Amino acid sequence: MPKSRRNKLVSLTETEKKTREHKEALVDLIRQAADDNKYCWIIEAGDMRNSGLKDVRAAWKGTGRLFFGRLKVMALALGTTPETSHKPELYRLSELLTGSAGLFFTNWDEKEVKEWFDDFSKPDFARTGNVATSTVELDEGPVIHRPSGDTLPHTLEPALRKLGLSTSLLKGVPTLLSPHTICKEGQTLSAEQAQILKHLGIMMSTFKLQVKAYWNEGNAGEGEIQVLDKDVQMS
């Protein structure tokens, strides 16, 4: 009798080995980036968006390396004490690796880097828990995709109904049977509201990255730290 796939055993030792190898690879990549670049920045992502990070990486391809991973692993790569610091004073950045922080390495001048990140932003769809930036009301009739002005595809009608809209499929068009207020400005969005706004093509969120501090290799390789965020306190 063939063995059931449901009863297939997975070796935990093998899983742990892969995890350990992944961590070690990340440490090596970060340390190599520190060796190749004069600056290491602490970047705060806030609301993490993969599409936004992809745009940042594309913009800095060949001139900068961006890392987001497990905070303890990134701290290990930098060093957490003067004795374990990969480069002089670099360990001091490890205490700023909190929340959704990441590392950015580059040889670009600090003024240019700060200006780039201050200017960078990308509109995105709101998620559960975000705050509505405007009131959105739908009139009775065909449900319209706001940016394009086209009616939504007929395949979305069951999903809209499941999300709480009183819709029906009339002549192949998702149609609202009565007016509906999706959200009001200042309201915290539910999962259903966020999903409806996404179907309608309405963006209420902005992806940004904040530079908090950076390490500079220095002319003599002695290393120095500059804190840019006034709310950041270093020991």
Domain range summary for the chain, segments of one domain joined by +: 15-121+208-227, 136-205
User: For a pLDDT cut of 90, what percent of the chain falls above it?
Assistant: 82
Q: Is the pLDDT of residue 20 over 90?
A: no
pLDDT computed for residue 219 by the predictor: 84
Helices (H), the chain: 12-36, 50-59, 71-78, 110-119, 157-162, 191-200
Q: Is the pLDDT of residue 34 over 80?
A: yes
pLDDT, averaged across the chain: 91
pLDDT digits (tens, 9 = 90+) for 165-201: 999 999 999 999 999 999 999 999 999 999 999 999 9
Quick one: pLDDT band at residue 1, thresholds 50, 70, 90?
very low
Superfamily of domain 15-121+208-227 in CATH is: Ribosomal protein L10, N-terminal RNA-binding domain (3.30.70.1730)
d(CA 122, CA 59): 13
Where do we find the tokens 């995105």? 124
More confident residue, 234 or 147: 147
Where do we find the tokens 């993969």? 50
Backbone angles phi, psi at 55, to 5 degrees: -65, -40
Q: What is the pTM of this model?
A: 0.81
DSSP code, position 132 = P
Domain 136-205 architecture:
Alpha-Beta Complex (3.90)
Quick one: pLDDT band at residue 79, thresholds 50, 70, 90?
very high
Centroid of chain to Cα 207: 8
User: For a pLDDT cut of 70, what percent of the chain falls above it?
Assistant: 91
Provide the terminal-to-terminal Cα distance of the chain, rounded to the nearest Å. Answer: 65
Q: Does 15-121+208-227 match 136-205 in CATH topology?
A: no
d(CA 101, CA 45): 6
CB atoms inside a 10 Å sphere around CB 153: 12
pLDDT computed for residue 5 by the predictor: 43
pLDDT digits (tens, 9 = 90+) for 196-207: 999 999 999 999
